[in-house]
Structure 1
Amino acid sequence: MNIFNNQPAEILILVFLIVTFLQSGIDKITDWKGNIAFITDHFKNSPLRNMVPFLLATVLVFEVVASILMIIGVGQLATNGGAEIALVGAEISAICLIFMLIGQRLAKDYAGAMTLAVYFIINVFALYLLQ
Protein backbone atom coordinates (compact mmCIF):
# COMPACT_ATOMS: atom_id res chain seq x y z
CA MET A 1 0.00 0.00 0.00
CA ASN A 2 1.35 3.38 -0.99
CA ILE A 3 -0.05 6.06 1.34
CA PHE A 4 1.35 8.82 -0.81
CA ASN A 5 -0.54 7.79 -3.99
CA ASN A 6 2.49 8.59 -6.16
CA GLN A 7 2.67 12.16 -4.81
CA PRO A 8 5.04 11.92 -1.84
CA ALA A 9 6.67 15.34 -2.29
CA GLU A 10 3.34 17.15 -2.43
CA ILE A 11 1.95 15.36 0.60
CA LEU A 12 5.10 15.73 2.71
CA ILE A 13 5.42 19.44 1.94
CA LEU A 14 1.74 19.93 2.77
CA VAL A 15 2.21 18.11 6.08
CA PHE A 16 5.16 20.39 6.83
CA LEU A 17 3.05 23.47 6.09
CA ILE A 18 0.12 22.09 8.09
CA VAL A 19 2.33 21.56 11.14
CA THR A 20 3.78 25.06 10.74
CA PHE A 21 0.52 26.94 10.33
CA LEU A 22 -1.71 24.82 12.57
CA GLN A 23 0.75 25.02 15.47
CA SER A 24 1.04 28.77 14.98
CA GLY A 25 -2.72 29.16 14.92
CA ILE A 26 -3.21 26.98 18.00
CA ASP A 27 -0.55 28.99 19.83
CA LYS A 28 -2.34 32.24 19.00
CA ILE A 29 -5.66 30.81 20.23
CA THR A 30 -4.30 29.31 23.45
CA ASP A 31 -2.08 32.28 24.34
CA TRP A 32 -3.86 35.23 22.77
CA LYS A 33 -2.85 37.71 25.48
CA GLY A 34 0.78 36.64 25.40
CA ASN A 35 0.91 36.93 21.63
CA ILE A 36 -0.75 40.36 21.72
CA ALA A 37 1.76 41.56 24.32
CA PHE A 38 4.75 40.21 22.39
CA ILE A 39 3.64 41.52 19.02
CA THR A 40 2.55 44.89 20.40
CA ASP A 41 6.06 45.33 21.79
CA HIS A 42 7.57 44.04 18.54
CA PHE A 43 5.65 46.63 16.50
CA LYS A 44 5.88 49.53 18.96
CA ASN A 45 7.93 51.65 16.52
CA SER A 46 6.11 50.67 13.33
CA PRO A 47 3.10 52.12 11.55
CA LEU A 48 1.19 48.95 12.56
CA ARG A 49 1.44 49.56 16.32
CA ASN A 50 -2.23 50.52 16.75
CA MET A 51 -3.60 47.63 14.67
CA VAL A 52 -1.96 44.64 16.36
CA PRO A 53 -5.10 42.80 17.59
CA PHE A 54 -6.84 43.15 14.22
CA LEU A 55 -3.75 42.09 12.26
CA LEU A 56 -3.04 39.16 14.57
CA ALA A 57 -6.65 37.98 14.21
CA THR A 58 -6.35 38.27 10.43
CA VAL A 59 -3.19 36.18 10.37
CA LEU A 60 -4.85 33.66 12.71
CA VAL A 61 -7.82 33.25 10.38
CA PHE A 62 -5.54 32.79 7.37
CA GLU A 63 -3.41 30.22 9.23
CA VAL A 64 -6.39 28.17 10.38
CA VAL A 65 -8.20 28.29 7.04
CA ALA A 66 -5.02 27.36 5.16
CA SER A 67 -4.36 24.48 7.56
CA ILE A 68 -7.88 23.09 7.26
CA LEU A 69 -7.79 23.28 3.46
CA MET A 70 -4.37 21.63 3.33
CA ILE A 71 -5.53 18.83 5.67
CA ILE A 72 -8.52 18.19 3.41
CA GLY A 73 -6.19 18.49 0.41
CA VAL A 74 -3.83 15.82 1.78
CA GLY A 75 -6.82 13.50 2.08
CA GLN A 76 -7.87 14.33 -1.45
CA LEU A 77 -4.34 13.74 -2.79
CA ALA A 78 -4.04 10.44 -0.93
CA THR A 79 -7.40 9.11 -2.11
CA ASN A 80 -8.01 10.32 -5.65
CA GLY A 81 -4.94 12.37 -6.57
CA GLY A 82 -6.85 15.66 -6.80
CA ALA A 83 -4.92 18.74 -5.78
CA GLU A 84 -7.48 21.54 -6.02
CA ILE A 85 -8.20 21.98 -2.30
CA ALA A 86 -4.55 21.57 -1.31
CA LEU A 87 -3.60 24.20 -3.89
CA VAL A 88 -6.04 26.74 -2.44
CA GLY A 89 -4.71 26.02 1.08
CA ALA A 90 -1.12 26.48 -0.09
CA GLU A 91 -2.07 29.73 -1.85
CA ILE A 92 -3.65 31.08 1.34
CA SER A 93 -0.60 30.07 3.37
CA ALA A 94 1.65 31.91 0.89
CA ILE A 95 -0.50 35.04 1.26
CA CYS A 96 -0.23 34.67 5.04
CA LEU A 97 3.56 34.51 4.79
CA ILE A 98 3.58 37.67 2.68
CA PHE A 99 1.45 39.42 5.32
CA MET A 100 3.95 38.35 7.98
CA LEU A 101 6.88 39.45 5.80
CA ILE A 102 5.35 42.91 5.42
CA GLY A 103 4.97 43.12 9.19
CA GLN A 104 8.53 42.01 9.86
CA ARG A 105 9.91 44.51 7.36
CA LEU A 106 7.84 47.37 8.80
CA ALA A 107 9.02 46.41 12.29
CA LYS A 108 12.58 46.43 10.91
CA ASP A 109 13.06 42.84 12.05
CA TYR A 110 15.19 41.83 9.10
CA ALA A 111 16.34 38.56 10.70
CA GLY A 112 12.72 37.56 11.25
CA ALA A 113 11.90 38.50 7.67
CA MET A 114 14.81 36.38 6.44
CA THR A 115 13.50 33.40 8.40
CA LEU A 116 10.14 33.71 6.64
CA ALA A 117 11.93 33.39 3.29
CA VAL A 118 12.71 29.73 4.04
CA TYR A 119 9.04 28.97 4.65
CA PHE A 120 8.06 30.93 1.57
CA ILE A 121 10.44 28.97 -0.67
CA ILE A 122 8.95 25.70 0.59
CA ASN A 123 5.46 27.12 0.10
CA VAL A 124 6.16 28.21 -3.48
CA PHE A 125 7.60 24.77 -4.23
CA ALA A 126 4.33 23.28 -2.98
CA LEU A 127 2.39 25.59 -5.30
CA TYR A 128 4.59 24.53 -8.21
CA LEU A 129 4.07 20.82 -7.52
CA LEU A 130 0.33 21.12 -6.95
CA GLN A 131 -0.41 22.86 -10.27
Structure 2
Amino acid sequence: MNNAASILILVFLAITFIQSGYDKLFHWKENLDFMKEHFAETRLKKLVRLALLHLLVLELISGVLCVVGAIELFVSNGRTFGLYGAVFSCISLLMMLFGQRMAKDYDGARTIVLYFIPAVMAVYWLN
Protein backbone atom coordinates (compact mmCIF):
# COMPACT_ATOMS: atom_id res chain seq x y z
CA MET A 1 0.00 0.00 0.00
CA ASN A 2 2.29 2.73 -1.25
CA ASN A 3 -0.64 5.11 -1.69
CA ALA A 4 -2.49 4.65 1.61
CA ALA A 5 -2.22 8.31 2.69
CA SER A 6 -3.36 9.60 -0.70
CA ILE A 7 -6.28 7.17 -0.79
CA LEU A 8 -7.34 8.15 2.73
CA ILE A 9 -7.26 11.86 1.87
CA LEU A 10 -9.25 11.25 -1.31
CA VAL A 11 -11.85 9.30 0.68
CA PHE A 12 -11.95 12.15 3.24
CA LEU A 13 -12.51 14.71 0.48
CA ALA A 14 -15.09 12.49 -1.22
CA ILE A 15 -17.11 12.13 1.99
CA THR A 16 -16.84 15.85 2.68
CA PHE A 17 -18.00 17.03 -0.73
CA ILE A 18 -20.57 14.35 -1.52
CA GLN A 19 -22.26 14.90 1.85
CA SER A 20 -22.15 18.68 1.43
CA GLY A 21 -23.49 18.47 -2.13
CA TYR A 22 -26.21 16.06 -1.01
CA ASP A 23 -27.23 18.47 1.75
CA LYS A 24 -27.39 21.41 -0.66
CA LEU A 25 -29.33 19.39 -3.23
CA PHE A 26 -31.95 17.96 -0.89
CA HIS A 27 -32.19 20.96 1.47
CA TRP A 28 -31.86 23.68 -1.15
CA LYS A 29 -34.35 26.15 0.35
CA GLU A 30 -32.89 25.98 3.86
CA ASN A 31 -29.36 26.41 2.52
CA LEU A 32 -30.40 29.27 0.25
CA ASP A 33 -32.23 31.07 3.09
CA PHE A 34 -29.21 30.69 5.37
CA MET A 35 -26.82 31.94 2.68
CA LYS A 36 -29.04 34.92 1.80
CA GLU A 37 -28.98 35.97 5.45
CA HIS A 38 -25.25 35.24 5.78
CA PHE A 39 -24.38 37.43 2.78
CA ALA A 40 -27.07 40.09 3.25
CA GLU A 41 -24.51 42.80 4.07
CA THR A 42 -22.03 41.94 1.31
CA ARG A 43 -21.62 42.65 -2.38
CA LEU A 44 -22.55 39.01 -2.99
CA LYS A 45 -26.13 39.38 -1.73
CA LYS A 46 -27.64 39.38 -5.25
CA LEU A 47 -25.48 36.45 -6.39
CA VAL A 48 -26.24 33.99 -3.59
CA ARG A 49 -28.48 31.66 -5.62
CA LEU A 50 -25.99 31.47 -8.51
CA ALA A 51 -23.00 31.08 -6.19
CA LEU A 52 -24.74 28.30 -4.26
CA LEU A 53 -25.57 26.50 -7.51
CA HIS A 54 -21.96 26.79 -8.71
CA LEU A 55 -20.69 25.52 -5.37
CA LEU A 56 -23.12 22.58 -5.47
CA VAL A 57 -21.90 21.55 -8.92
CA LEU A 58 -18.23 21.91 -7.96
CA GLU A 59 -18.72 19.94 -4.75
CA LEU A 60 -20.41 17.06 -6.55
CA ILE A 61 -17.71 17.03 -9.25
CA SER A 62 -15.03 17.10 -6.54
CA GLY A 63 -16.61 14.25 -4.59
CA VAL A 64 -17.14 12.00 -7.60
CA LEU A 65 -13.62 12.62 -8.92
CA CYS A 66 -12.18 11.81 -5.48
CA VAL A 67 -14.12 8.52 -5.32
CA VAL A 68 -13.00 7.53 -8.82
CA GLY A 69 -9.47 8.72 -8.01
CA ALA A 70 -9.26 6.62 -4.84
CA ILE A 71 -10.43 3.55 -6.76
CA GLU A 72 -8.01 4.28 -9.63
CA LEU A 73 -5.12 4.74 -7.21
CA PHE A 74 -5.96 1.54 -5.34
CA VAL A 75 -6.47 -0.60 -8.44
CA SER A 76 -3.80 0.64 -10.85
CA ASN A 77 -1.69 3.30 -9.09
CA GLY A 78 -3.24 5.83 -11.51
CA ARG A 79 -3.27 9.39 -10.26
CA THR A 80 -5.23 11.33 -12.89
CA PHE A 81 -8.74 11.32 -11.39
CA GLY A 82 -7.45 11.78 -7.86
CA LEU A 83 -5.41 14.80 -8.90
CA TYR A 84 -8.41 16.35 -10.64
CA GLY A 85 -10.57 15.60 -7.59
CA ALA A 86 -8.04 17.24 -5.28
CA VAL A 87 -7.75 20.29 -7.53
CA PHE A 88 -11.53 20.68 -7.79
CA SER A 89 -11.71 20.28 -4.00
CA CYS A 90 -9.22 23.11 -3.58
CA ILE A 91 -11.21 25.31 -5.97
CA SER A 92 -14.42 24.59 -4.04
CA LEU A 93 -12.74 25.40 -0.74
CA LEU A 94 -11.26 28.61 -2.12
CA MET A 95 -14.73 29.68 -3.25
CA MET A 96 -16.04 29.03 0.25
CA LEU A 97 -13.10 30.85 1.83
CA PHE A 98 -13.71 33.87 -0.40
CA GLY A 99 -17.37 33.93 0.65
CA GLN A 100 -16.57 33.61 4.35
CA ARG A 101 -14.05 36.43 4.13
CA MET A 102 -16.54 38.63 2.26
CA ALA A 103 -19.12 37.96 4.99
CA LYS A 104 -16.46 38.71 7.62
CA ASP A 105 -17.05 35.26 9.12
CA TYR A 106 -13.48 34.72 10.22
CA ASP A 107 -14.25 31.64 12.32
CA GLY A 108 -15.89 30.03 9.29
CA ALA A 109 -12.90 30.96 7.16
CA ARG A 110 -10.55 29.41 9.71
CA THR A 111 -12.55 26.18 9.59
CA ILE A 112 -12.20 25.99 5.81
CA VAL A 113 -8.42 26.11 6.19
CA LEU A 114 -8.62 22.82 8.10
CA TYR A 115 -10.12 21.21 4.99
CA PHE A 116 -7.82 23.04 2.61
CA ILE A 117 -4.62 21.60 4.12
CA PRO A 118 -5.33 17.94 3.25
CA ALA A 119 -6.73 18.98 -0.15
CA VAL A 120 -3.46 20.74 -1.01
CA MET A 121 -1.51 17.77 0.35
CA ALA A 122 -3.44 15.55 -2.06
CA VAL A 123 -2.64 17.85 -4.97
CA TYR A 124 1.04 17.77 -4.01
CA TRP A 125 1.20 13.98 -3.55
CA LEU A 126 -0.79 13.15 -6.67
CA ASN A 127 0.94 15.62 -8.97
* TM-score of the pair, normalised by structure 1: 0.95
Compute the displacement of 1:6 (Å): 2.2
Whether 2:118 is the aligned partner of 1:118: answer no
Could you tell me which residue of structure 2 aligns to residue 61 of structure 1? 57
- Where does structure 1 differ by over 4 angstroms across 4 or more consecutive aligned residues? none
What are the within-5 Å matches in structure 2 for residues 1-131 of structure 1?
Answer: 5-131=1-127
Give the residue type in structure 2 aligned to 1:111: D
In the alignment, the residues of structure 2 paired with residue 79 and residue 19 of structure 1 have an alpha-carbon distance, to the nearest angstrom, of 20
Compute the displacement of 1:122 (Å): 1.0
Give the residue type in structure 2 aligned to 1:69: L
In the alignment, the residues of structure 1 paired with residue 117 and residue 85 of structure 2 have an alpha-carbon distance, to the nearest angstrom, of 16
In the alignment, the residues of structure 2 paired with residue 80 and residue 122 of structure 1 have an alpha-carbon distance, to the nearest angstrom, of 22
Compute the displacement of 1:128 (Å): 1.1
Compute the displacement of 1:118 (Å): 0.7
Q: How many residues align?
A: 127
Provide, for residues 1-29 of structure 1, a one-character-per-residue CA deviation record: whole Å limited to 9, x for no partner.
xxxx4210000001101111110000000
Question: Aligned to 2:46, what secondary structure does the other structure show?
Answer: coil
Residue segments in structure 2 that go unaligned for 5+ positions in a row: none
Compute the displacement of 1:81 (Å): 0.2
Superposed CA RMSD in Å reads 0.7
Q: Identity of counterpart residues, as a percentage?
A: 45
Question: Aligned to 1:96, what secondary structure does the other structure show?
Answer: helix
